[in-house]
Structure 1
């Protein structure tokens, strides 16, 4: 995402074809976007900067659907997730910070939008009271959304769009410290059966990046295996960092927010085994007077529509 606009990029990550390349192939213009949530079937949820509406966009078919709030307007602190149930019915989860009318405490509100009925409904307590904080905006996998827990540092949670509830605490990759200063990011891995990848970097060993991939993942179960450990020399910026994994080539594409002479740039670093390292600049020439915002949407192969998107009904 560049300066409030969505830009779809094409990544060439081959080790054998020279330098990695990044090319802009399309852009969703004319609207200012606060942030984007990428569903694993290719649909994009775009939360507008003015908090007035949500746009769900199918970039493959060019379809768009505008969604209004249940009443009033959305809030800048709202978080959203786009997913689907086992019948492939799409739904949107809205998580909002609210003030309890009696206790005046901050509480989380949960609403669900159903595409089939074009309506919102309020959910009850879908998450334990002691686990009210969710750190990340979530990662879409197999129709569900996985959130990092902030109360229980070494765990994450899954919102199940079929059960319309959050499952139990799931452990993050072991042998890491999740309480000291560190950076952890989650990403979806494309294979015959989708899996989850976790990138970990600790402040005491900034030059080392470790990536683990699940071999089993669901709302109530997870197991991890180590995928890649590389010495990079760069620190993945928590606000500009994201990553992609290519299991077949045994490489990872890591986006890092860097500054040169007061200008901010998004750089894509490609790491692999045996010291393989390449870099490419993502985005456009920067404007010195302000900070560019560019974030990968989270899929390196978004230009090959999965079957569920090719056959999806009109939004």
Structure 2
């Protein structure tokens, strides 16, 4: 019996075992498989299978975007960690002879947002869909975020643009209308600016922010609500943090945010996760606290260079992505756990040490950029 003779349900079950990085080859095999791979039932089954196999992380290095697989085997404090390159994420552009220059990368709900000089690109690597969005002017100094309106059952996705130099501070792009509109909302206070890129959670986006006034310089975080299309109030961390302190946000599953905190000049690394979070309120619980003194000599330097981390809740382990304490050209994953567990994994050379860094947990998305499910 040939594969083409098998029942649809059995073919769906077999193809759902194939890694995400091989799906392009599957879709090119025949029209029937291509159509099957984009049905809602298959996508949900395949994403579930992929998520259960291992965790995935998106990381920028050498001005390219890589998909990493992170897995743990063994028992508490006696396990092995595997971090492997699963593939390079490359935008296919039939209108340009060479690969376009990507200035910044953002991520939300399984979609990637590539910021270029005069346009942005939204890409669903899983479905292989790309949407090119023309700019009004340069995007070089702007901040971006992605989310969706939860009032709409189909989750209408949107892009927020925050201009740091333009007279129009806030614009939003709606995928459905395929157009930009100016938001008439109250801007951030003049003495506040956003640190790093946005973190997407349940359709909203969150940033670490800091006061510019030298006498305060206090850090907090703030939410943009894509349903109401407005900025929320200041949200507090479970610690006091100022200019030189390290504060990094990460996703913790699909419903929570984690925050990594290291006081400047101190060796303790602390991580909290949200017990409750929405655009206006937040509560926290401590997840892990580790004295880094026995492990890393240049502790302050390592965490200053970091732009992301990943948590494995079951193993009680944190993977912090940064640079080597003595060599800025080497990108390192620091695996830190309870009871003194520590390991370093060299991820390779990244010669552009001043490039925009991006590290985020990644789950394949069923979101269709160009059209909804039929």
- TM-score of the aligned structures, taking structure 2 as reference length: 0.71
Contact persistence 2:247–2:260 (CA under 8 A): yes
Q: State the Cα distance separating 1:99 from its structure 2 match.
A: 6.0
Larger Rg: 2
Task: Determine the structure 2 residue equivalent to 1:3.
Answer: 62
Contact persistence 2:162–2:170 (CA under 8 A): yes
- Pick aligned residue for 1:182 from 236, 245, 248: 245
CA distance in 2 between partners of 1:295 and 1:180 (Å): 19
Task: Determine the structure 1 residue equivalent to 2:52.
Answer: none
Task: Determine the structure 2 residue equivalent to 1:254.
Answer: 320
Query: SS of 2:360's equivalent?
Result: coil
| Residues 258-281 of structure 1, C-alpha deviations (whole Å, 9 max, x = no match) | 265x65111001111111112211
| Residues 197-232 of structure 1, C-alpha deviations (whole Å, 9 max, x = no match) | 100011221x22100000100001100000000122
Q: 1:293 to 1:15 in 2, by over 3 A?
A: farther
Q: State the Cα distance separating 1:131 from its structure 2 match.
A: 5.9
1:92-131 → structure 2 map (5 Å cutoff): 92-98=159-165, 109-130=169-190
Task: Determine the structure 1 residue equivalent to 2:268.
Answer: 208
Provide structure 1 residue ranges, at least 5 long, that are not aligned to the other structure: 101-107
CA distance in 2 between partners of 1:81 and 1:20 (Å): 31
- Pick aligned residue for 2:235 from 170, 183, 194: 170
RMSD over aligned CA atoms reads 2.3
Q: 1:38 to 1:313 in 2, by over 3 A?
A: closer
- The reply on whether 1:264 has 2:329 as its aligned counterpart is yes
Q: State the Cα distance separating 1:14 from its structure 2 match.
A: 3.8
Task: Determine the structure 2 residue equivalent to 1:63.
Answer: 129
- Pick aligned residue for 2:112 from 33, 44, 65: 44
- The reply on whether 1:83 has 2:147 as its aligned counterpart is yes
Query: SS of 2:339's equivalent?
Result: helix
Contact persistence 1:259–1:265 (CA under 8 A): no
Q: State the Cα distance separating 1:136 from its structure 2 match.
A: 2.9
Contact persistence 1:38–1:45 (CA under 8 A): yes
CA distance in 2 between partners of 1:203 and 1:129 (Å): 26
Task: Determine the structure 2 residue equivalent to 1:22.
Answer: 84
Per residue, is there more helix in 1 or in 2? 2
Contact persistence 1:12–1:21 (CA under 8 A): yes
Provide structure 2 residue ranges, at least 5 long, that are not aligned to the other structure: 1-59, 92-98, 212-216
CA distance in 2 between partners of 1:230 and 1:156 (Å): 23
1:273-288 → structure 2 map (5 Å cutoff): 273-282=338-347, 284-285=348-349
